[in-house]
Amino acid sequence: MRSKRRFAMLGRSLCLSVFACIAACASQKNPSFPVTILEAHSEWRELRRDEKELERPLVVAGGYLGSGFTDGHLKIKFREIFDDDRIERVSFVGLSTFEECRERLIAEVDARFPSDDPEWTTEVDVVAFSMGGLVARYASDPGAGARALKIRRLYTISTPFRGARLAKSDSSIGVVASMHPESAFIDELNDPSRVYEHELTPYVRLGDRVVGPENASPPGEHPVWVGNKPMSAAHLWAHRDIRILADIGRRLRSEPPLSVEPRSPLPDG
């Protein structure tokens, strides 16, 4: 009987600790992005009432394990606020190296939006989740291959620019090993001699244990961050965060974003 009571008390204690952690994370407000979830939903409804055309084709790129689901969801969401069929989703399911991912991304953009330029694809905007942001960044480097992805604006959600916390350097899966913080691939992407001509806006949710909020922007930059939603996986469901989507949506429409510059640093802890 005593052991049952102890077990029940331990269970309640663990639950309270988890909920306290979730509540603390969700309550953290970003001074440069002080938009609540309710306000973001309201903003999204306004965007839906006033559909517009895209300024240029939009490519949505999926992540590693979420490929096929994350890019599909992002395409559906942005079709809600744009009266435009020039939205292409790209998944990297079945690919094991960043070189393969790069080739697929460029090939699918070429197939959907043909370009006569022997060095560059048609100019596009890109919204990418997690690993997809690294693929887009890599594909935009003209020195990495015969042709490069011409990006005007790149919006990334939970992308491990400085490597992912959970990536294993000895993984048998090439893209996973390449996302280790000390991998040669990450070092090359962040080499100061590399010049990326696109505009980059990286987003992340606090509590992301897969990538780590501190890794979600290139060295020397702060990501646009928000507290995690209660009972939501900080990394895996970040592409569904309406605050992030509304801010990206306004930027894609060249309207004043909900977040402002300069970006606030990540909170301690």
**pLDDT bucket at 21, cuts 50 / 70 / 90:** very low
d(CA 108, CA 121): 10
- Does 2 score more than 60 pLDDT? no
Please indicate, yes or no, if residue 135 is contained in any of the structural domains. yes
Radius of gyration for the alpha carbons in the chain, expressed in angstroms and rounded: 19
* DSSP symbols for the chain: -HHHHHHHHHHHHHHHHHHHHHHHHHHPPBTTB---HHHHHHHHHHHHHT-B--SS-EEEE--STTTTTHHHHHHHHHHTTB--S-EEEE--TT--SHHHHHHHHHHHHHHHS----SSB---EEEEEETHHHHHHHHHT-GGGSSSB--EEEEEEES--TT--TT--TT-SSHHHHHTSTT-HHHHHHT-TT----SEEEEEEETT-SSS-GGGSS-TT---EEEPPPTTS-TTTTGGG-HHHHHHHHHHHTTPPPSS-SSPPPPPP-
Please indicate, yes or no, if residue 113 is contained in any of the structural domains. yes
pLDDT digits (tens, 9 = 90+) for 92-140: 999 999 999 999 999 999 999 999 999 999 999 999 999 999 999 999 9
**pLDDT bucket at 212, cuts 50 / 70 / 90:** very high
Compute the average pLDDT of residues 4-24.
46
Compute the average pLDDT of residues 182-207.
97
Residue 170's domain is classified under what CATH number? Answer: 3.40.50.1820
Residue of higher predicted confidence among 122 and 22:
122
Please indicate, yes or no, if residue 25 is contained in any of the structural domains. no
* DSSP symbols for 202-224: EEEETT-SSS-GGGSS-TT---E
Range of the domain at 137: 31-252
What is the residue type of 255? E
**pLDDT bucket at 201, cuts 50 / 70 / 90:** very high
Please indicate, yes or no, if residue 196 is contained in any of the structural domains. yes
Compute the average pLDDT of residues 198-209.
98
d(CA 266, CA 124): 30
Q: How many domains are there within the chain?
A: 1
Task: Name the percent of the chain lying above pLDDT 90.
Answer: 84
- Name the phi and psi angles at 205, rounded to 5: -105, 140
Average pLDDT, the chain: 91
Please indicate, yes or no, if residue 266 is contained in any of the structural domains. no
**pLDDT bucket at 145, cuts 50 / 70 / 90:** confident
pLDDT for the residue 68: 72
- Does 187 score more than 50 pLDDT? yes
223: nearest Cα among 61, 64, 30: 30
What per-residue string of b and e applies to 22-58 under the rule 16 or more CB within 10 Å gives b?
Answer: beebbeeebeebebebeebeebbeebeeeeeebebbb
Report the chain's terminal Cα–Cα distance, integer Å: 40
Task: Name the percent of the chain lying above pLDDT 70.
Answer: 89
pLDDT for the residue 12: 54
- Does 22 score more than 70 pLDDT? no
- Does 81 score more than 70 pLDDT? yes
Please indicate, yes or no, if residue 264 is contained in any of the structural domains. no
What is the residue type of 99? E
pLDDT digits (tens, 9 = 90+) for 24-64: 445 589 999 999 999 999 999 999 999 999 999 999 999 99
Please indicate, yes or no, if residue 58 is contained in any of the structural domains. yes
Please indicate, yes or no, if residue 13 is contained in any of the structural domains. no
